Amino acid sequence: MEIKVLGAHNTESATTRLSGLVIDGKLALDAGSLTSSLAITEQLELRAVLLTHRHYDHLRDIPALGMTRYLNRKPLPVYALQDTLDALSVCLLNGEVYPRFTQRPPENPALVFIPVSPGVEFQIGPYRVLPVAMAHSAPSTGYLVTGEAGASVFYTGDTGSGFAEMITGIRPGLIITELTTPDRYGDDDWSTKHLTPAFLEAELGILKAAWGCLPAVVCVHMYAALEQEIRRELEQVAARLDGDIRPAFEGMVITL
Ligand SMILES: [Zn+2]
Ligand SMILES: [Zn+2]
């Protein structure tokens, strides 16, 4: 299994992109950077997109990707919570902001929306996918993706504190987690929406106690303007937990 990080930040700039990962060039996780990072040929190679929640930085490129698939007459399945699919249909693909690609062309629509439910596993080609509910300011799901050979990755999407309890039973080979701001943002309210290094340390401490050791951990969704501060604090977390815990970057490739 090869995982490429397209976007490692929650803020876009000339050198940073919004949330997005691609597994083996086939399966996309979140759509904040799919069209800004992938060639047209790569966009057409995608077999499915999994969305974590309705926030703009995670689904922004679905309309643009829909246009590519529409013009090439190559439908694309989009898996997400019903809440996320509704937001796409009502706010973006509503026939006013952009075409209703879930209905066009009528005989073979460019986007095929498939609702998912936390805890209900499904198969996409060779991948087994398990949605896991996450705590965030909008209905949100992380995904455990397991390949044919048994390699597995868990992607949190956006989450506040509490995600460790949700995944102690599944023990993935790699965790890709959000890590949005430095510790000075870490009041109680923030802990229910996003992670700081201190909040992440608490979660990983729970997992280490449950599993005996930690898998590799890669952090995305960083606020670009404060990335150096986040990185310094994350280094200390990694040292204290004695773990392979790293910040991601655009273009990072991880092989499992
Ligand atoms: Zn969010
Ligand atoms: Zn986000």
Instruction: Look up residue 124 and give its amino acid.
Output: I
**Dihedrals phi, psi of 16, to nearest 5 degrees:** -125, 150
% the chain with pLDDT above 90: 98
The model's pLDDT over 86-130, given as tens digits with 9 standing for 90+, comes to 999 999 999 999 999 999 999 999 999 999 999 999 999 999 999
**20-23: strand order across its sheet:** 111-115, 76-80, 48-50, 27-29, 20-23, 2-7, 253-255
Q: What is the pTM of this model?
A: 0.97
What pLDDT, on the 0 to 100 scale, is given for residue 57?
Answer: 98
User: Which residues have a beta carbon within 5 Å of ligand 2, which is an ion?
Assistant: 10, 55, 57, 158
The alpha carbon of 55 and the centre of ligand 2 are apart by a number of angstroms equal to: 6
Residue 97 CA to residue 67 CA, distance in Å, equals: 13
Residue 168 CA to residue 209 CA, distance in Å, equals: 10
The alpha carbon of 223 and the centre of ligand 2 are apart by a number of angstroms equal to: 10
The alpha carbon of 4 and the centre of ligand 2 are apart by a number of angstroms equal to: 18
The alpha carbon of 157 and the centre of ligand 1 are apart by a number of angstroms equal to: 8
What are the chain's domains? 2-255 (3.60.15.10)
What pLDDT, on the 0 to 100 scale, is given for residue 189?
Answer: 86
Residues near 71 by Cβ (< 8 Å), separated by ≥ 6?
Answer: none
The model's pLDDT over 186-223, given as tens digits with 9 standing for 90+, comes to 988 888 899 999 999 999 999 999 999 999 999 999 99
What pLDDT, on the 0 to 100 scale, is given for residue 188?
Answer: 82
